[in-house]
Structure 1
Amino acid sequence: MKKLTMMSVLTLVMVVLAGCMYPEDQKAKNQIPYEDQINQVQNAIDGYKEKNQGLLPIKTTEKDTPIYQKYPIDFKKIIPQYMAEYPGNSFEAGGVFQYVLINAETEPEVKLSDLRIAEMIRDIKIRIRSQGYPPYKDHIAGNVYSLDYSKLGYKEDPVVYSPFSGQDLPFVVTGDGEVYVDYRIDLMQIIQKGDIDYQPGDDIRGLLVRDSAFVPAYSLPYTIDSETNDPIFLVN
């Protein structure tokens, strides 16, 4: 009996240690969206639209809401008639994703916005407000800058995991203190592969969403440099 008890304790310790081996951000990366959940919501959206003369079950947002945050799905309008319950990975069910629509005025398509990014941005902005101004580091383009995070109390520069490339991406800040994720690394990879149908002056963020379940919700618009073909901020 003692041997059995000892084995049980050792097993428990191994499980705990295994969990400790993975930092919280690594655990977060494993919380991936499930295709069947997205498809279920898409079917519900299509059914609602058909039964309601083209109307969409979305929440009301401000007119100037960024495009990838503009059409959040209102599950109260489609549950339980069009789907039985909230998707398990949705914010409404305690998950980390907000379900949104793109192409809402043409062919509405369900995508996901990672709300953990919003939490990271909120923390950076709180630190900026406590200091009174953004501690700019380098001028990137137009009204876009990098930040000196050491002056905000960070030991390391904060980054966000990209669902598009699997890489860690930095943040940028505008002159008015708004913080965004910088997706130039992801966009460069896509551009280098070719098969793009954009011209200088076009917003090329559609390259990110065309083959992904996600949207770059907290981003500035980008375009293509007419000389180098590199992704650049589409700002004044």
Structure 2
Amino acid sequence: MKFLKLLTLPLVALVLTGCLYPEAQLEKNKMPNQAQLDAIQKAVDQYKQQESGLLPIKTKDQDTPIFLKYPIDFSKLKQKGLIGEPPGTAFINGGHYEYTIITPEDNPTVKLVDLRTAEALRSLQLKVEFYQQENKYPPFNEQIAKGVYSIDYGAVGLEEAPTVDSPYSQQMLPIYINDQGKLLIDYRKDLYEYIRTKEHSYQTGDDIRYLLTDYTPFSPAYSVPYTILDGEPIFMSELPS
């Protein structure tokens, strides 16, 4: 999977070219496979059973976005003898991915977040925050939806509107900004395709981001809730009251 059409900070460039890792690790760190996911899912299920419903997760702030809120603590799985080493694709073992859990109460399910995207967003977030400190307001451009704006990319030193490669398709996904100056990725392109091509029962008012996790190992990180209206994805904030 290729990632990022954004910034050129040295750290991001190093991650993308693999220069941070020994040559022998490049292939194993490239992309998680189903066997790795299944092994960690099995370990999580066993841990939950042994620990009376507790999950092997790191503690995050209460306001952490839902798809980033429950990262797996591999040390807890290892201490219980449920795994040997974390997968080579896991960030803790030199890979590009954070293994996380979604729907922890109902059906704890292991999913992935690509940390190369996270690093690029952090780099852009610094530019946004510097602009906001200098100008007293974020670099808003056009309003996309209620509380969502495109970025005045020229104002933060970019030559074109920032995007990232989708983990779900070959499409480029826009990066927008919310009222508080925080960045978000717009997954509506992928959601539209999944609504049309995948079997589902999501209705207006449901958070349809889970449609993406129903069919892939990736979480739609750095997003806001969407729902479905007249067969198309919309920001939840745009739902008529």
Q: TM-score, normalised by structure 2?
A: 0.81
2:177 and 2:150 map into 1 onto residues whose CA distance is: 6
**The one of 133, 141, 160 aligned to 2:164:** 160
Deviations 1:78-100 (A, max 9, x none): 11511000110111112111000
User: For residue 108 of structure 1, what is the amino acid of its counterpart?
Assistant: P
Q: Is the 2:175–2:183 Cα contact (8 Å) retained in structure 1? A: yes
Preserved contact between residue 43 and residue 77 of structure 2 (Cα < 8 Å)? yes
Cα RMSD for the two superposed structures = 2.0
Normalising by structure 1, we get a TM-score of: 0.83
Q: In 2, Cα distance between the equivalents of 1:130 and 1:114? A: 25
Q: C-alpha separation between the residues in 1 aligned to 2:73 and 2:122? A: 23
* 2:15 and 2:116 in contact (8 A); partners too: no
Aligned partner letter, 1:187:
L
Q: Report the 3-state secondary structure (helix = DSSP H, G, I; strand = E; otherwise coil) of the residue aligned with 2:92.
A: helix
Residue 199 of structure 1: CA displacement? 1.7
- The 3 A distance-change label for structure 1 pair 25 and 230 is farther
* Superposed displacement of residue 59, structure 1: 0.9
1:106 offset after TM fit, Å?
1.8
Whole-Å separation in 1 of the counterparts to 2:17 and 2:39: 25
The number of residue pairs the alignment matches comes to 211
Cα 1:165–1:26 change in 2 (3 A) is farther
CA distance in 2, matches of 1:115, 1:85: 19
Percent identity over paired residues: 44
Runs of 4+ off more than 4 Å: 23-28
Correspondence for 2:110: 110
- Equivalences for residues 1-236 of structure 1 within 5 A: 31-80=30-79, 81-132=81-132, 133-193=137-197, 195-225=199-229, 228-235=230-237
Q: Which amino acid aligns with 1:229?
A: G
Q: CA deviation at 1:114?
A: 1.0
Contact conserved, 2:48 with 2:54, CA < 8 A, in 1? yes
Q: d(CA) in 2 for partners of 1:46 and 1:196? A: 25
CA distance in structure 2 between the aligned counterparts of 1:207 and 1:44, rounded to whole angstroms: 24
Offset at 1:157?
A: 2.3
2: CA distance between counterparts of 1:25 and 1:57? Answer: 27
The 1:26/1:121 distance shift into structure 2, 3 A limit, reads closer
- Segments of structure 2 that go 5 or more residues without pairing to the other structure are 1-12, 19-26
Change (3 A) 1:219 1:207: same
| Higher RCO, 1 vs 2 (CA within 8 Å, ≥6 residues apart) | 2
Could you give the per-residue CA deviations for residues 158-179 of structure 1, whole angstroms, max 9, x where no partner exists?
2111111231111110111010
CA separation in 2, counterparts of 1:86 and 1:122?
A: 25
